[in-house]
Amino acid sequence: MDMSKLNSLPKEDIVKMAELCHLDTTRSTAHLVKELTTIFKQVEEKKNRYTRISQLGAKGKEGTVFLVANRTGAQYAMKTFASTKSDRNLEKEAVLLGKAAEFHISPPLIEYDLHDNFIVMEKLEGNLFDYLRDHKGKMPTRMQKEMIDIFKTLDRIQIFHADPNPLNFMFDAKGKLKIIDFGFAKAIDDKLAREHDTREVNMRFMPLGFLLKMRDLVPPTNFPYLLKHVAEEDQVHVLNIAPPPPNPPVSSSSKTTKSIKRKVVIAKEPTKDKARESTKDKARESTKDKTKESTKDKTKESTKDKTKQSTKDRAKESTKDKTKESTKTKEKKTRKARSKKV
Ligand SMILES: Nc1ncnc2c1ncn2[C@@H]1O[C@H](COP(=O)(O)OP(=O)(O)OP(=O)(O)O)[C@@H](O)[C@H]1O
Ligand SMILES: [Mg+2]
């Protein structure tokens, strides 16, 4: 803006502008012009303090990330948002990122701006999705451990990330895994903990969510350390195992009931194991083939589609499943106890 034009504006316009800027309008016009000039200069400077260099990653749902440089030439990643992103949500995303960064699991937050709708953070190097594509779906145990440590830290600092997309994991300059994109994240409060029966919601859902997102591209068995941290009852979803047949109806005749129960207790376990083994093999075979033919476009598309289904939904689904499973397990235990008594 050409500041010299301020002097030629009518007094009423100057006063109106001064009011908007919360200045003391009882002061002289010359004083108001001086103060307004300072404010406009500050805004201009703030606006131009970063130069966009290039786009980083794909355009997201709410905005785009750019590689930017400040006046000293230092480079950062700037996540920009459409004006539809509310100040509250932008601030929440920035604050949660900043908190995670304090615990070294996310890129350090440089600043955020609710007027121009952006977050500036340290620039990271590459994402986990590309890494897995370039390394034939192999994720070193060290990296899997880093991922689990990230989830444990998130639980400790009471932030549920809720978006375990492989594109939301990136590497810093030293090759250490970091988590980005707190767009879906929220604080772990009592309500959330009650809803999911645990305060460790990241450990409960994030390894599971990650493996489910990757399932069609990389065999889950490529991530043994992560798989170890998925609840046993949820592994059936990851490994594509058919649920066990429904329980037989309970007969009123105690003699018949006993014999049926015994049969079930004896017969069920090997059948389950067999099913698990054969499904594992199938999963291994089919994912092997799929990995071979997967191209960058195809994988990106499919991951995008999957990402659309929010983790919240999945979390709900799997909590439902968990409840079902645990009820089944309880029933099984009761049956076992009863048949032992018999
Ligand atoms: N700190 C960073 N350094 C380098 N690249 C980054 C950084 N943050 C984000 N990116 C790139 O920008 C992409 C999109 O970022 P991000 O995941 O935060 O946004 P999004 O998925 O579009 O967000 P949302 O899901 O909230 O719409 C990332 O996949 C990554 O390629
Ligand atoms: Mg993202």
Q: In this structure, how many other beta carbons lie within 10 angstroms of the beta carbon of residue 98?
A: 18
CB 78 less than 6 A from any atom of ligand 1: no
| Neighbour count for residue 45 (Cβ, 10 Å) | 10
CA–CA dist 84, 88 (Å, integer): 11
pLDDT of 288: 42
Contacts within 8 Å (CB) and 24+ apart, 25-29: none
**pLDDT tens-place string over residues 226-272:** 999 999 889 988 887 665 666 655 544 433 333 223 223 333 333 33
pLDDT given for residue 236 in this prediction: 86
**Which of 56, 80, 86, 171 has most ligand 1 atoms within 8 Å of its beta carbon, as the pocket-test mutant?**
56
Domains of the chain are: 1-39 (no CATH), 50-123 (3.30.200.20), 126-237 (1.10.510.10)
| Cβ of 166 less than 6 Å from ligand 1 | no
User: Is the distance from CB of 204 to CB of 211 less than 8 angstroms?
Assistant: no
pLDDT < 50 stretches in the chain: 251-324, 326-327, 330, 334, 337-342
Q: 10 Å Cβ neighbour count for 140?
A: 11
> Ligand 1: does its nearest atom lie under 6 Å from the Cβ of 61?
yes
pTM, whole model, 2 decimals?
A: 0.67
What pLDDT sits at residue 255? 37
